[in-house]
Protein backbone atom coordinates (compact mmCIF):
# COMPACT_ATOMS: atom_id res chain seq x y z
CA UNK A 1 0.00 0.00 0.00
CA UNK A 2 1.32 3.43 -0.84
CA UNK A 3 2.30 6.01 1.76
CA UNK A 4 -0.46 8.39 0.58
CA UNK A 5 -3.34 6.18 1.69
CA UNK A 6 -6.47 7.87 3.05
CA UNK A 7 -8.68 6.02 5.51
CA UNK A 8 -12.29 5.45 4.42
CA UNK A 9 -15.41 4.48 6.30
CA UNK A 10 -18.36 2.52 5.00
CA UNK A 11 -21.38 4.82 5.04
CA UNK A 12 -23.78 2.12 3.98
CA UNK A 13 -25.36 0.09 1.23
CA UNK A 14 -27.73 1.75 -1.20
CA UNK A 15 -29.66 0.66 -4.27
CA UNK A 16 -29.17 2.68 -7.43
CA UNK A 17 -32.42 3.34 -9.25
CA UNK A 18 -33.85 2.51 -11.72
CA UNK A 19 -31.38 -0.36 -12.28
CA UNK A 20 -31.76 -1.72 -8.71
CA UNK A 21 -27.98 -2.16 -8.63
CA UNK A 22 -26.52 -2.37 -5.09
CA UNK A 23 -23.81 0.16 -4.30
CA UNK A 24 -21.45 0.44 -1.32
CA UNK A 25 -20.92 4.04 -0.28
CA UNK A 26 -17.52 4.87 1.20
CA UNK A 27 -16.47 8.23 2.60
CA UNK A 28 -13.15 9.77 3.56
CA UNK A 29 -12.61 9.40 7.32
CA UNK A 30 -9.69 11.80 7.70
CA UNK A 31 -9.88 15.57 8.17
CA UNK A 32 -10.45 17.27 4.83
CA UNK A 33 -11.79 14.12 3.15
CA UNK A 34 -15.14 13.75 4.91
CA UNK A 35 -17.05 15.13 1.91
CA UNK A 36 -15.38 12.80 -0.58
CA UNK A 37 -17.68 9.85 -1.31
CA UNK A 38 -17.00 6.80 -3.47
CA UNK A 39 -19.68 4.49 -4.84
CA UNK A 40 -18.59 0.89 -5.46
CA UNK A 41 -21.05 -1.12 -7.53
CA UNK A 42 -21.40 -4.63 -6.10
CA UNK A 43 -23.50 -7.73 -6.49
CA UNK A 44 -26.56 -8.41 -4.33
CA UNK A 45 -24.80 -11.11 -2.25
CA UNK A 46 -21.87 -8.84 -1.43
CA UNK A 47 -24.18 -5.93 -0.63
CA UNK A 48 -26.15 -8.15 1.74
CA UNK A 49 -22.94 -9.42 3.35
CA UNK A 50 -21.71 -5.88 4.04
CA UNK A 51 -25.14 -4.72 5.25
CA UNK A 52 -25.43 -7.65 7.67
CA UNK A 53 -21.97 -6.96 9.09
CA UNK A 54 -22.68 -3.23 9.45
CA UNK A 55 -25.85 -4.08 11.36
CA UNK A 56 -23.92 -6.44 13.63
CA UNK A 57 -25.86 -9.50 12.52
CA UNK A 58 -24.13 -12.79 13.29
CA UNK A 59 -25.48 -15.69 11.23
CA UNK A 60 -26.18 -19.05 12.85
CA UNK A 61 -23.72 -20.58 10.40
CA UNK A 62 -20.82 -18.54 9.02
CA UNK A 63 -21.23 -17.06 5.57
CA UNK A 64 -18.27 -16.96 3.17
CA UNK A 65 -16.93 -13.61 4.37
CA UNK A 66 -17.32 -14.66 8.01
CA UNK A 67 -15.41 -17.85 7.28
CA UNK A 68 -12.63 -16.05 5.41
CA UNK A 69 -12.22 -13.48 8.19
CA UNK A 70 -12.11 -16.21 10.86
CA UNK A 71 -9.57 -18.27 8.92
CA UNK A 72 -7.27 -15.27 8.39
CA UNK A 73 -7.51 -14.27 12.04
CA UNK A 74 -7.33 -17.77 13.60
CA UNK A 75 -4.39 -18.98 11.54
CA UNK A 76 -2.29 -16.29 13.19
CA UNK A 77 -2.05 -14.00 10.22
CA UNK A 78 -4.54 -11.37 11.30
CA UNK A 79 -5.85 -8.60 9.07
CA UNK A 80 -4.15 -5.20 9.23
CA UNK A 81 -6.12 -3.29 6.61
CA UNK A 82 -7.87 -3.37 3.27
CA UNK A 83 -6.99 -1.18 0.31
CA UNK A 84 -9.51 -0.29 -2.40
CA UNK A 85 -7.92 0.68 -5.70
CA UNK A 86 -9.02 1.50 -9.20
CA UNK A 87 -8.48 -1.43 -11.55
CA UNK A 88 -9.69 0.38 -14.66
CA UNK A 89 -11.95 3.33 -15.45
CA UNK A 90 -14.99 1.80 -13.77
CA UNK A 91 -13.83 -1.23 -11.78
CA UNK A 92 -12.42 -1.35 -8.27
CA UNK A 93 -10.18 -4.05 -6.84
CA UNK A 94 -9.18 -4.75 -3.28
CA UNK A 95 -6.17 -5.96 -1.34
CA UNK A 96 -6.22 -7.48 2.13
CA UNK A 97 -2.98 -6.77 4.03
CA UNK A 98 -2.11 -9.41 6.63
CA UNK A 99 0.04 -9.05 9.77
CA UNK A 100 2.65 -11.25 8.09
CA UNK A 101 3.15 -8.57 5.44
CA UNK A 102 1.50 -10.67 2.74
CA UNK A 103 -1.17 -9.13 0.57
CA UNK A 104 -4.15 -11.02 -0.83
CA UNK A 105 -5.82 -9.69 -3.98
CA UNK A 106 -9.62 -9.59 -3.87
CA UNK A 107 -12.62 -7.97 -5.41
CA UNK A 108 -13.24 -4.63 -3.71
CA UNK A 109 -16.63 -5.84 -2.45
CA UNK A 110 -15.12 -8.95 -0.83
CA UNK A 111 -12.25 -6.99 0.71
CA UNK A 112 -14.71 -4.45 2.18
CA UNK A 113 -16.94 -7.25 3.51
CA UNK A 114 -13.91 -8.76 5.28
CA UNK A 115 -12.78 -5.35 6.61
CA UNK A 116 -16.19 -4.63 8.14
CA UNK A 117 -16.07 -7.99 9.95
CA UNK A 118 -12.44 -7.63 11.04
CA UNK A 119 -12.97 -4.01 12.14
CA UNK A 120 -9.84 -2.96 10.28
CA UNK A 121 -8.90 0.11 8.28
CA UNK A 122 -10.15 0.56 4.74
CA UNK A 123 -7.94 2.84 2.65
CA UNK A 124 -7.58 4.29 -0.83
CA UNK A 125 -4.77 6.22 -2.45
CA UNK A 126 -5.47 9.93 -1.85
CA UNK A 127 -5.04 10.91 -5.51
CA UNK A 128 -7.39 8.14 -6.58
CA UNK A 129 -9.94 9.18 -3.95
CA UNK A 130 -9.93 12.77 -5.19
CA UNK A 131 -10.21 11.62 -8.81
CA UNK A 132 -13.15 9.23 -8.36
CA UNK A 133 -15.08 10.76 -5.48
CA UNK A 134 -18.22 12.80 -5.57
CA UNK A 135 -19.16 15.47 -3.07
CA UNK A 136 -22.77 15.56 -1.87
CA UNK A 137 -24.58 18.72 -2.83
CA UNK A 138 -24.95 20.46 0.48
CA UNK A 139 -23.02 23.18 2.16
CA UNK A 140 -22.48 23.80 5.84
CA UNK A 141 -22.46 27.26 7.39
CA UNK A 142 -18.74 27.32 6.56
CA UNK A 143 -18.69 28.41 2.93
CA UNK A 144 -15.08 27.50 2.26
CA UNK A 145 -14.30 25.07 -0.53
CA UNK A 146 -13.77 21.37 0.07
CA UNK A 147 -10.06 20.50 0.09
CA UNK A 148 -9.19 18.48 -2.98
CA UNK A 149 -12.53 19.12 -4.67
CA UNK A 150 -12.62 20.31 -8.26
CA UNK A 151 -13.74 23.88 -9.04
CA UNK A 152 -16.88 22.39 -10.63
CA UNK A 153 -17.69 20.52 -7.42
CA UNK A 154 -17.24 23.71 -5.41
CA UNK A 155 -19.63 25.54 -7.78
CA UNK A 156 -22.27 22.85 -7.33
CA UNK A 157 -21.95 22.70 -3.55
CA UNK A 158 -21.95 26.50 -3.30
CA UNK A 159 -25.54 26.43 -4.57
CA UNK A 160 -26.69 24.77 -1.36
CA UNK A 161 -29.30 22.04 -0.96
CA UNK A 162 -31.37 20.95 -3.94
CA UNK A 163 -34.66 22.85 -3.93
CA UNK A 164 -38.13 21.42 -4.50
CA UNK A 165 -38.29 23.38 -7.78
CA UNK A 166 -35.07 21.74 -8.99
CA UNK A 167 -36.45 18.32 -8.09
CA UNK A 168 -39.69 19.00 -9.99
CA UNK A 169 -37.72 20.29 -13.01
CA UNK A 170 -35.57 17.15 -12.97
CA UNK A 171 -38.66 14.92 -12.68
CA UNK A 172 -40.19 16.70 -15.71
CA UNK A 173 -36.95 16.14 -17.63
CA UNK A 174 -36.94 12.45 -16.74
CA UNK A 175 -40.57 11.95 -17.71
CA UNK A 176 -39.87 13.34 -21.20
CA UNK A 177 -36.32 12.01 -21.63
CA UNK A 178 -35.33 9.48 -24.22
CA UNK A 179 -32.12 7.50 -24.70
CA UNK A 180 -30.70 10.21 -26.96
CA UNK A 181 -30.78 12.66 -24.03
CA UNK A 182 -28.12 10.57 -22.30
CA UNK A 183 -25.73 10.14 -25.23
CA UNK A 184 -22.19 10.93 -24.04
CA UNK A 185 -20.58 11.23 -27.48
pLDDT of res. 2: 47
**Pairing of the two strands 103-107 and 91-98:** antiparallel
DSSP secondary structure of 7-43: EEEEEEEEEETTTTEEEEEEEE-STT-TT-EEEEE--
Quick one: CA torsion of 144, 147, 152, 155, rounded to 10 degrees? Answer: -10
Rounded to an integer, what distance in angstroms lies between the CA atom of residue 152 and that of residue 136? 13
Domain ranges of the chain: 5-132
Looking at residue 1, what is its pLDDT? Answer: 45
Question: pTM of the predicted model, to two decimals?
Answer: 0.71
Q: Got the DSSP string for 127-165?
A: HHHHHH-B--S---S--PPPTT--HHHHHHHHT-SPPHH
Task: Write the CATH number of the domain with boundaries 5-132.
Answer: 3.10.690.10
The pLDDT, as a whole number, for residue 62 is 87
The tens-digit pLDDT sequence of the chain (185 residues) is 444 999 999 999 998 888 888 999 999 999 999 989 999 999 999 999 999 999 988 888 888 888 899 898 888 689 999 999 998 888 999 999 999 899 999 999 999 999 999 999 999 999 999 999 888 765 454 545 555 555 555 555 555 666 666 676 766 766 776 666 665 54
Q: Between the CA of residue 43 and those of 25, 56, 98, 124, 134, what are the distances in Å?
A: 14, 20, 25, 21, 21
Which H or E run includes 59? none
163 to 18, 49, 160, 169: CA distances (angstroms): 22, 35, 9, 10
d(CA 185, CA 174): 20
Amino acid sequence: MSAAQVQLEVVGVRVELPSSQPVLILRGAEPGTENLHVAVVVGPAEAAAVARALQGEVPHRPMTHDLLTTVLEDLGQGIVSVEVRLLDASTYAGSVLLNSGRTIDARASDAIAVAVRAHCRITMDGDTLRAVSVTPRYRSADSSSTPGASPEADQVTAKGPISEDEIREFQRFLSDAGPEDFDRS
